[in-house]
Amino acid sequence: MPLVAGILCGDAFPQVVPVWGLGLACLLLFAGLSACHCLCFRRLYGVLLFLLLSVVGYMGMDRQMGRSDFPFSNLSSTYRIVVRGKPEMKGRSVLCQSGLLEEVRQDTVLAFSRPPLFLFYFPKDSMATCLKQGDELLIHTRLAPPVNNGNPYEFDYVRYLRHQGVAGTAYVAAGHWRVTGHDVARTFRQEALEYREKVLSLYRDLGFKGDELAVLSALTVGDKAALGDDIRETYSVAGASHVLALSGLHIGFIYALLFFLFTPLWRRWRVLKPMLLLLIVLFLWGFAFFTGLSASVVRSVIMFSLCAFAGLQSEKVWSMNTLLSAAFLMLLYNPVWLYDVGFQLSFVAVAAILVIQPRLYALWKVKNRFLRYGWGLVTVSVAAQVGTAPLVLFYFSRFSTHFLLTNLVAIPMVSLILYAAVLLLLLTPFSFLQGTFAAVVKALVSAQNAMLRWIEHLPLSSMDGIWIDGWEVLLYFLFLGLLCRAVIRRIYRNVFLALFALLLLVSYHSVSAMLHAPQRSIVFYNVRGCPVVHCLSESGKSWLACADSLPDRTRLTRTLSPYWNRLQLEVPQWVADGYAVPGLSMQDGIVCYAGKRICLLCDGRWQGKESVSPASIDYLYVSHGYRGGMAELVSLFSIGTVVLDASLSDYCRHRIVDDCIRMGIPYLSLSQKGSVRILL
């Protein structure tokens, strides 16, 4: 807990304390610990130890956040970069995570001692699609720090990149870059990723494709790039998304298989037990290497490695100490993992299983072997769901109601698929047998997908649009912790404390829902590719009037669904020209709602037009596609406020802003202000 507290402080207040100050604090605290140990001041020793761990956590997080610091000049320059990761194909660009090696200024070359990471976007052409990991490029571009769009409750992209050590982003235009060489040196993780690509190539050669290839790649090597939206939605609605995230479940299956195979050997020859446990650990780390050493797999392998070594003692192997030791070591190595959703879900799930599952399992004594296995699977699923439910609601706003049925189907199937995939890879030297066995693996994956699609289409398969915030998550865990303490230690007065925590949770949620009830308003969002005005009513109904005839609805929904869930809105209705209901209409790009008129301007429909009497417009919403200025519009409209969409080019936006300043017309630039909400 003190280490976590230090990490949280380092994230909230980075670089407040200088490095030398932190180092001096560590030395003083360590000296104090030594003195307290000699003088047997146990309480003071504990306090100083907690402070030391807090400082260590702060230093680790501060160092991680410092990796993304970079002196931006806001000017274009020439740089030499090296592609660090595998290039990703986006819709209209190629994304390369690259290290900045040098900056070239006329005759001067400035080398970076610690190359900062940047995300470079190249236009998607035949040259950019041929880029490979390790390519060295000479580019000319302008580096910029990452920025958020400013929409309410939007994913914090800047914070995410800073946690990944990424300093900024840049777009490299066609003709402004060329390949100058190739760096053959590889980090250990890059070597692991290359081996993972070889495994994926083997799957393709064996005839896997479509959803079968995507699911098998996610289950065995943790590559989810090929997963389509449909199969992701199927697993999400069915409550099986955790199956696609290669983590503790999959490592546990392999650990269980190896443990089952080696147990007869060390029972017969106990002297072999240390060597066989070490062999299990080495096999697990070898599997992690072939999956690209992803964070979720590494943390799971660390935990099971500790469990394997704990098997050398006669005491209980699985315990909270083992779990928290793994978390402690991982956060010492990389403090940013604390903010990883998978890290939080996996450790909370295992903790809930360790604490809750034995009590649930003891409620029913089952004699039949198969029923006992099923009852154990049910209790594990319920315990994990009780522990992870608030985090799932917090991050995904969805609760899968058929999670018990899903786990009864998916977990046995995943174990079969994983064991079959391991056997498939072991048959690589025997191509004929491997090709024949590939059909078995393909049938297993297809059967799992079909069963989860059936569960997806069951009535009330999921509850969507649920909103809770961080304080509600903390209150839930406080309630759960007090209740578990009361049951386990039989301190029944804690039941009243647990009920009080539950009362606080319900009261907070009710008050929060009332404070965030929808109000009649219009909202302009900053979502690239979808200029839209959102008209909201008090009843929860709303309408989206889009300026573009082909809006990117998927991007808009993905970006704004947290905000819509927060307001408990019904699914917004898209409107187009000619739409009219009581209180709202849209004609010729002019939206009339609650006495306000909003003109959506994205083309030249008003150019060359004349008017004897200017029409009154409360908001003129200008987006990409309009190439004129304000002079030709003031004769047609009496404009209250000009709203400038972020899709406008810098040249067009600056020109319209200059016109507004000269004419005294108020304006709002969404690229600077982000989302704008106007109450009516």
108-135 mean pLDDT? 87
Rounded to whole angstroms, the Cα distance separating 297 from 317 reads: 20
Between the alpha carbon of residue 191 and those of residues 133, 216, 289, 290, the distances in Å are 11, 21, 9, 9
What confidence category does residue 317 fall into, taking pLDDT thresholds of 50, 70 and 90?
low
Mean model confidence pLDDT for the chain = 85
| pLDDT reported for residue 555 | 84
Does residue 315 carry a pLDDT above 60?
no
Q: What is the mean pLDDT of residues 650-672?
A: 88
Residue with tokens 């890879």: 425
The answer to whether the CB of 316 falls within 8 A of the CB of 329 is no
Strand-pair partners of 171: 121
Inform me whether the pLDDT recorded for 625 exceeds 70: yes
The span from the CA of 376 to the CA of 362, in Å, is 10
Please give the share of the chain, as a percent, with pLDDT higher than 90: 12
Q: Which helix (H) or strand (E) holds 662?
A: helix 650-663
Kindly compute the dihedral angle of the four CA atoms of residues 652, 656, 657, 663, in this order, to the nearest 10 degrees.
170
At 25, is the pLDDT very low, low, confident or very high (cuts 50, 70, 90)? confident
In this prediction, residue 334 carries a pLDDT of 86
What is Dmax (Cα atoms) for the chain? 101
Residue 357 near residue 383 (C-beta atoms within 8 A): yes
- Are 669 and 644 contacting, i.e. CB atoms less than 8 angstroms apart? yes
Question: Is the model's pLDDT at 295 over the cut of 90?
Answer: no
Task: Render pLDDT for 180-218 as a digit per residue (tens, 0 to 9).
Answer: 888 777 777 777 777 788 888 888 888 888 888 888 888
Residue-level pLDDT at 389 = 87
On the question of pLDDT at 673 being above 80, the answer is: yes
Cα 389 from Cα 140, distance rounded (Å): 48
Phi-psi region for residue 648, left (φ > 0), alpha (ψ -120 to 50) or beta? Answer: beta
Per-residue pLDDT, 502 = 92
Convert 504-561 into a string of H (helix), E (strand) and C (coil): HHHHHHHHHHHHCCCCCEEEECCCCCCCEEEEECCCCCEEEEECCCCCCHHHHHHHHH
Q: Region 555-576: what's the mean pLDDT? A: 88
Helix (H, G, I), strand (E, B) or coil at 672: helix
What is the predicted pLDDT for the residue at 314? 60
The strand ranges marked E within 451-531 are 462-464, 521-524
| Buried b / exposed e along 308-334 (16+ C-beta atoms within 10 A) | bbbbeeeeeeeeeebbeebbeebbeeb
**What is the per-residue pLDDT for 316?**
57
Amino acid, single-letter form, for residue 296:
S
Residue type, 7: I
DSSP state of 134: T
Tens digits of residue pLDDT in 451-468: 988 988 888 888 888 888
